[in-house]
Amino acid sequence: MVSLGIDGMISGLKTSDLINQLMQVEAMPQTMLKQKVSTTQTFITALQGLNTRVASLTDVAKTAAKPASWQATSAVSTAPSVKVTTSAGSQPSTLSFTVDRLAKAQTSVSGNVTDLDSYFPGGVPDSLTIVSGPADKPTLVAVDLAGVTDLAGLATKLNTAGTGITASVVKVSPTESRLQITGKATGDDAAFDIHRGTVTKDDLAAGASDLVVSRSAALVASADAAISLWDGQTVTSASNTFSDVLTGVSFTVSALETAPVTVTTTRNDAALTKLASDLVGSMGVVLSEITSRTATTTTTSADGRTVIAGGVLSGDSATRGIQQSLTSALAYPVDGISPSEVGIVLGKDGAFTFEPEKFAAALASDPAKVQKVVSGLAERVAETATKISSPIDGSLTQKIKSQESFTKNLTEQVSDWDRRLATRRSGLERTYASLEVTLSGLQSQSSWLAGQVSSLPTWN
């Protein structure tokens, strides 16, 4: 609060300076509270940073602990026209096949027409019905033709009605055009017919045949892609992508292949190595954060003294406990097998390193052993890290909430002191103002008395 005042005009005292000095003394408890708020906020920020890194470690460890993560594979094809991808559940395997047919979408083209009336010889209907899919489970979409006056308008209606087809007007001469209608999807079940008017499934069952477009007369008939396996066994797909012919393996064909194409799936050692290296790397980030926040610094004061200061977390026992529990989770053996046997090594400085050569050798020798050790370590780390950083009941999360509550309480106390100090300053200003009034009265009285004394007669 800003106040205006005039230094003592009667007393000659610098009352503003006196009040400010008195207020500095009065505000010492508040100053200490503000320093405590600042220190606590710095502490909370450090804890939040550590909590974020532990949470990240939790995610990495959970991934490395999943059995599905250890089924990572990669696949190659002997033909450039066959692209292969793998997913969870794939196993090392080999499959050969020929590509007999590519998936196609139906394309139907009208004859040469000059206008909308010539496209609909019997008269322009009020609506059309697009029938797609197999005969036993057809899908019907009605298209209202209200307001359509030309071929371009008809194409627009077909394109915007959610019909599963696209239409375009192809001009073949100055006076004639052809309407091309193409299905958006490929495969046998994507074939379509277009009927005049609004028809129902019952109408179709009864043989409704007032066709504008017939799938049987299509320029390009819709078709499934087809491949032949070892003995001529045919496998089809509505698209050019075949999924789960091999579990967890998908391949996309883009050309016919009469010579057998071989798809080979092998263990993805690079992905498995990344599981272990990411686990060690994420642990290193957490431990480095703790080290940097607890490290001491040495400085020299202005008078030449050596000053040693600890990091913001150096005095926090919870931080030391986190460091010890996470280190133990990754360092202890799994079923009597040391982590160092698979390339995860704990150094004398308390830091972990990952040795890819040792990991690769162990993976080549006994992949089941490597999976057991690394996934076991990851499971322990994930469990420990979750107890620390869980957003609901994690120990570090709870500590942060406690410190935030403490800071809120301190901030409220600072605000209380603001009000208290404002009242105290107002009181001091009134006191010194009253002093000036009193001194002014005494000065007037003194002047009056001096006048009375000076008016008395003088006797020799």
Spatial distance between the Cα atoms of 225 and 100, rounded to a whole number of angstroms: 8
Q: What average pLDDT score do residues 285-314 get?
A: 84
pLDDT tens readout for residues 393-414 = 999 999 999 988 888 888 888 8
Please state, in angstroms and rounded to a whole number, the distance separating the CA atoms of residues 268 and 283: 24
Give the pLDDT confidence score for residue 13 in this predicted structure. 65
Q: Length of the chain in residues, anyone?
A: 460
The predicted model gives 366-386 an average pLDDT of 95
Higher pLDDT among residues 82 and 312, named by residue:
82
What are the sequence ranges of the domains in the chain?
Answer: 1-72+268-437, 73-102+224-267, 107-217
Given the DSSP bridges, would you call strands 139-144 and 127-132 parallel, antiparallel or unpaired? Answer: antiparallel
Q: Which carries the bigger pLDDT value, residue 421 or residue 283?
A: 283
The pLDDT tens digits for 49-85 are 999 999 999 999 999 999 988 988 899 999 999 999 9
Average the pLDDT over each of 109-118, 358-367, 376-385, 429-438 and give the range with the smallest value.
429-438
pLDDT for the residue 1: 45
Per-residue pLDDT tens for 137-179?
899 999 999 999 999 999 999 998 788 899 999 999 999 999 9
pLDDT of residue 215: 93
Of all residues in the chain, what percent carry a pLDDT higher than 90?
A: 60
Nearest C-alpha neighbor of 105 from the set 167, 165, 168, 161: 165
